[in-house]
Amino acid sequence: MVPLSHVIWLSAALFTIGVIGALTRRNLIVILMSIELMLNAVNLSLVGFARVWGDLGGQVFVLMVIAVAAAEVAVGLGIVISLFRNRDSVNVEDVSLLKW
């Protein structure tokens, strides 16, 4: 097996790319996709550690993460569609009502 540190570095790099995408892009859907990328990075890290310690719990956790991600995407895209219907835009700057 490849040294664990390489696995973790890959995971960290993917996570950082996901954060940059979530912070930088204006399109709501792309932001959601970046969030998915972040989740994937975490999944990678979990699988790596599961392998190293021989513990299946890590892999089960990954399955849960995937389930949660699926639910989140479903609901999130539903919200995006409603937003688009109301404002005719999926620009994140146009949905800045979450204040005070």
Whether 52 contacts 4, CB under 8 Å: yes
The distance of closest approach from Cβ of residue 42 to other proteins in the complex, given in angstroms and rounded to an integer, is 11
| Count of other CB atoms within 10 angstroms of residue 7 | 18
Residues 79-98 that bind other proteins (CB under 8 A): 79-82, 84, 90, 92-93, 95-98
Question: Helix or strand or coil: residue 98?
Answer: coil
21 counts as binding other proteins under rule CB under 8 A: yes
Residues 50-69 that bind other proteins (CB under 8 A): 50-54, 56-57, 59-60, 62-64, 66-69
The distance of closest approach from Cβ of residue 89 to other proteins in the complex, given in angstroms and rounded to an integer, is 10
42 counts as binding other proteins under rule CB under 8 A: no
The distance of closest approach from Cβ of residue 46 to other proteins in the complex, given in angstroms and rounded to an integer, is 9
Whether 53 contacts 4, CB under 8 Å: no
Burial of 39 (0-12, 13-18, 19+ CB in 10 A): buried
